[in-house]
Structure 1
Amino acid sequence: MIIPGVATVQTKEQRNAKAAAAGFASGYENGLRDGACEYLYRLMQPAAPTKRDCCVLYIPQGFEGIDQGVIEALRLIVREVYVADAARMAEQAALIRPDWVLVLNGLHVFPANHLEQVDAVRSLGIRTAIWFADDPYVTADTMYIAPRYDVVLTHELSTIQMYRERGCANVIYMPLAVDHNRFKPKKVEERYRSDVCFIGQAFWNRVEMFDALAPFLNTRKVFIAGGLWERMKNFKTLQRFVRQGWLPVDDSINYYNGARIVINLHRTTEVGKDNKNVLNLPGRSINPRTYEISACGTLQLTDCREDLTQYYTPGSDIETYADAAELKAKLEYYLGHENERRSIALRGLKRTLAEHTYVHRLQQIAEVLGW
């Protein structure tokens, strides 16, 4: 006998039970991850380094995710640290008389008389170093900036010889790192959670990749942020997942923490394709996002750069892909293998804290510059 209303009630109960089970499973998995990350983060806190008898004037670029990490690291490593705006570099150097002026990048927001200021600082007998963080995408500018400094630091292998050929006597390969006090594991609200996350500008190589992935991503919970994503042929397929425009750093950290997998895809270096790489140098080195994603304790799938294996071990503390087919296959695999996904992410977090914070990197800079 069919009793009116019973079937409907049972269906609703079943749906509720299924939703409750899914919520429990998700909460259990998130709890495992959050607890393990918290334990590792506490375990890996380094001892304070010995301070060096050196005074440094730091000139920031305005990269929110980098500058503060460098400043905090400097405060731990040297006797005195001063921070000045690029427009007042020479004035502040003359007033403070530091041992070194360290400049990040020297682009974009720097004034028209930037290089004249560098000359003025050097005329005072103060040593200068610039750390390029945008190589090789702006060689149209950096090949003229670099020779005006005493020391050139670059995170990009492909630009080292170029700077030497332009008369730079001291060119040092120096990778970037992460501000681990900011990019770190944290519990986040449900609105930040996703299966797959990508944050970055829609450069043409990224457009091609996500066009190829669109049918697969369409059935998952996805978060994409950045500008120019309307370039995609399959934009309408993924439009509901896209947050157009710049995403604040703290929001990026929340989305990294809420994702099961974060994709890292380096931008193209081809001349004329959204960059000023007039020398058409290849991209051989990893971006700062590589360290930032891993520092949040989330599994990262990244395309390969030549120096990646110096800093992470694919298959152990990071995962890589060569093309859209391999990326799709690995996304599908790790979304279905939680323990493996979580284990690789945790090993990535551990290695990042052990080797790739700005405290580690500034200690390396202090060594090579003789602070």
Structure 2
Amino acid sequence: MNIILISSSYKGIYPYIEQTVEDEFLKLGHSVVKINPTLTKELREVIKQSNPDVVITLVGYKTDKQLLNYLKKTGAVLCVWFTEDPFYLDRSIELIPYFQHVFTIDLAAFEFYKVLFPEKDILHLPLGTIPSIYQPEEVKAKYDLCLAGFPYPGRVELVQRILAETRYSLIVVGPGWRKSITENDQKRVTIINRWSSPHLIRNVFNQSKIILNPHRDDNFVANQNNLGITSKSINNRCFDIAACGGFQLIPHKPDTGVHFALEKEIVVYSCPQHCIELIYFFMKNEVERTQYSQNAYKKALSGHTMFHRIQVILNRLFEKSKEE
């Protein structure tokens, strides 16, 4: 197939994800042309020459509506993969009418879209990990605990509780953490106060005994989710941590057991206090940590890579085309 991949134009992790999406399509024998999200005269020519069968974009919030209308006239099948759901659900809803196929990383968003847009093909599809980036390293554990990601209030609360109630070493990675930890506590915490590449994150994961993975707050002030749809899904970092062979503690989500076997591949907590109790237990039980890590690693590589996700997309498109 001839595939057009519309760049999301977001920085950070997105160039890595989009490059992997492109690479996986190419590995499967498809041609891929990546374009910018704004329609121009030059871009019209590129689109004509590529003669697309399928158009896909991640996020989609910066995509020019004129571009989408132009692409629709080519007869190509338009797909969007919402990777920020449900936290920007307001913006996602505005875009759905332009696409035939809608993929979302969140189960709650999927359930909502199925009701609101019954005529659309909606699929719950988490992002997969990138094994060429996220992988085990032969390094010694340097930190007891780590937390990588933006300091959302819930994450800050968890870190503050850990600092107050334990003496374990901790590293936090992400812009804004220095402001979120008191000067006195900063003496105990290693802070990388910036966005960091996936390669650095991988290194931190591999140097940590326990990786804390509290998810984004549903009520964070910057969210654009006026309907208040509460997330029901684990985040993509779960798969990345597993691919690194890391042991993680995550909050319970309704779809956790769909992706990992509870009490075998992953450990969930119900509240900050429960998380601290689990930290104490697993810090003293390295054998159990290792068993969980090994099981989750095998699961991630056998079913949760970006290659697996691209296969799901292609199979979905093939099935729907047969129905039509």
| TM-score, shorter chain, exceeding 0.5 | yes
Q: Which residue of 2 aligns with 1:291?
A: 239
Kindly state the Cα deviation for residue 136 of structure 1 after the two structures are TM-superposed. 0.4
After superposition, what is the alpha-carbon deviation per residue over 1:26-83, rounded to whole angstroms, capped at 9, x for unaligned? Answer: xxxxxxxxxxxxxxxxxxxxxxxxxxxx221112334144223222221122432222
Return closer, same or farther for 1:273/1:316 CA change in 2, 3 Å cut-off. Answer: same
1:352 CA displacement: 0.4
Distance in 1, Cα, partners of 2:250 & 2:110: 24
> 2:79 maps to what in 1?
129
| Map 1:145-164 → 2, pairs under 5 A | 145-164=95-114
Q: In the aligned structure 2, how far is the partner of 1:284 from the partner of 1:99?
A: 33
8 Å Cα contact 2:178-2:191 kept in structure 1: no
* Structure 1 position 149, deviation (Å): 1.1
> Is residue 2:15 matched to residue 1:55?
no
Give the aligned partner of residue 205 of structure 1. 154
Q: Secondary structure at the match of 2:25?
A: helix
Moved more, 66-75 or 81-90: 81-90
Contact kept? 2:52, 2:74, Cα under 8 Å: no
Larger helix fraction of residues: 1
CA distance in 2, matches of 1:74, 1:235: 48
Does residue 96 of the first structure (1) align with residue 50 of the second (2)? yes
Per-residue deviation, 1:256: 0.9
Q: C-alpha separation between the residues in 2 aligned to 1:352 and 1:216? A: 33
Picking from 212, 223, 230, the partner of 1:282 is 230
- 8 Å CA contact retained: 1:321, 1:327: yes
Q: Is 1:354 aligned with 2:302? A: yes
Q: Is the 8 A contact 2:133 2:198 kept in 1?
A: no
More off after superposition, 86-95 vs 302-311: 86-95
User: Could you tell me how far 1:318 is from its partner in structure 2?
Assistant: 1.2
- Counterpart in the other structure of 1:246: 195
CA contact 2:86–2:108 (8 Å) conserved in 1: yes
Matches within 5 A, 1:287-326: 287-326=235-274
CA distance in 1, matches of 2:86, 2:156: 20
Deviates more, 1:237-246 or 1:83-92: 83-92
| Alignment map for 1:105-144 (pairs within 5 Å) | 105-107=59-61, 110=62, 114-144=64-94
Q: Which amino acid aligns with 2:76?
A: I
Alignment of 1:262 onto 2:216: no
Q: Distance in 1 between matches of 2:96 and 2:284?
A: 48
Structure 2: runs of 5+ lacking an equivalent: none
In the alignment, residue 56 of structure 1 is paired with which amino acid?
A: I
Q: Give the number of the structure whose alpha-carbon radius of gyration is greater.
A: 1
Task: Identify if the C-alpha distance between structure 1 residues 194 and 169 changes in structure 2 by more than 3 Å, giving closer, same or farther.
Answer: same
Q: Deviations over 1:75-134 (max 9, x none)?
A: 122432222222359633322012101111113xx25xx121111100111111000100
Judging changes above 3 Å, is the alpha-carbon distance between structure 1 residues 65 and 324 closer, same or farther for their aligned structure 2 residues? farther
The 2-side partners of 1:225 and 1:332 are apart by 22
Aligned in 2, Cα 1:278/1:252: closer, same or farther, shift over 3 Å?
same
CA deviation vs aligned residue, 1:198-232 (integer Å, no higher than 9, x gap): 00111111122222221245x22211011333564
Deviations 1:308-357 (A, max 9, x none): 10110122111111111111111111111111111110111001000101
1:328-367 to structure 2, matched below 5 A, reads: 328-367=276-315
Contact 2:37 2:67 (8 Å CA) reproduced? no
Distance 1:66 1:101, change over 3 A: same
Q: Distance in 1 between matches of 2:59 and 2:242?
A: 24
Contact 2:7 2:35 in 1 (8 A): yes
Distance of 1:284 and 1:290 partners within structure 2: 14
Tell me the distance in 1 between the aligned counterparts of 2:202 and 2:178.
24
- How many residue pairs get aligned? The number is 310
1:168 and 1:145 map into 2 onto residues whose CA distance is 14
The change in CA–CA distance for 1:213 and 1:328 in structure 2 (over 3 A counts) is same
Alignment CA distance shift 1:318-1:225 (3 Å): same
Cα distance in 2 between the residues matched to 1:193 and 1:251: 14
Residues in 1 aligned to 2:7 and 2:236: alpha-carbon distance in whole angstroms: 16
Say which SS state the counterpart of residue 239 (structure 2) adopts.
Answer: helix
- Identity of counterpart residues, as a percentage? 22
Residues in 2 aligned to 1:328 and 1:60: alpha-carbon distance in whole angstroms: 41
User: Normalising by structure 1, what TM-score?
Assistant: 0.78
Residues 76 and 263 of structure 1: CA distance in aligned 2, closer, same or farther (over 3 Å): same
> Is the Cα–Cα contact under 8 Å of residues 147 and 167 in structure 1 kept in the other structure?
no
